[in-house]
Amino acid sequence: MSDQRPDPPKIAFVASPAPEAQAAFASLAQRYGSVEPDAADVIVTLGGDGLMLQTLHRFISTGKPIYGMNRGSVGFLMNEYIEAGLVERIQAAERSVIHPLAMTTVDVHGERHDALAINDVALLRQTSQIAKLRILVDGQLRMDELAGDGVLVATPAGSTAYNLSANGPILPLNTNLLAITPISPFRPRRWRGALLPDRVAVRIEVIEPTRRPVSATADNDEVREVASVDIAMDRSRSMVLLHDPGHSLDERILREQFGE
């Protein structure tokens, strides 16, 4: 029987501009070596959740697993920063597979814009005028008028971000659901949103889009003065997040629900 061990993974380090992240990059690259992302087996991000989101977008078409270590402020998606044993941690890590939302908008000038969202797609009023929105699910009208600051559609991975701040539900990763959550609703005032199967297509139409302009944002990609927004999960794209055992996204989401 051979006792030959597998070769250690080739690592590409990606760091935020923060001094703590840059110092970590220099130390880890010297200790473990660093290759260009195209040649890497795994991407290690050094920063906070913002950098993780940027990295996921950057490598969304590669399928390369991403292991984050917290050198930022929030770090919900990140692992604890420890320099020692990084290769062993990566090899023992639990995998979470997530898919993005595909957003297609048509603005008031008839121009189409496409973008991807890992966390959420959010529609927000652009001026002091309240937004009025019509919501359809798989082509069927479900709400003829939502009046308020806006609405968002969140993935399970994004349910603890803007969605949670808007009093939306936290979704475990294995639920195969999307959360649609109103933002400061005025009418219907008591509507708190809905849970939808992640296979559905959501269409949001802006009522009076010229008089009541609305922007649509897929994570950080914003389109202004939209007339309609179509949202559906893109299962042709998969992203793999790596977390230390006992600290997977599912575990973190459970802890968040119990206030831990």
Q: Per the annotation, where are the binding residues? A: 49-50, 119-120, 149, 157, 160-165
Nearest to 246, CA basis, from 93, 98, 74: 93
Establish whether 49 is a catalytic residue: yes
Rounded CA separation 24/209 (Å): 47
Which residues participate in the annotated binding site for NAD(+)?
A: 49-50, 119-120, 149, 157, 160-165
Tell me the Ramachandran region of residue 45: left when phi exceeds 0, alpha when psi lies from -120 to 50, beta otherwise. beta
Whether the Cβ atoms of residue 104 and residue 221 lie closer than 8 Å to each other: no
Q: Residues 7, 38, 41, 49: which is the catalytic one?
A: 49
- E strands present in 78-233: 94-98, 101-107, 112-117, 120-125, 131-137, 140-154, 177-187, 194-197, 202-206, 214-218, 221-223, 226-233
- C-alpha 107/C-alpha 225 separation (Å) is 6
Number of C-beta neighbours around residue 20 at 10 A: 15
Residues known to be catalytic: 49
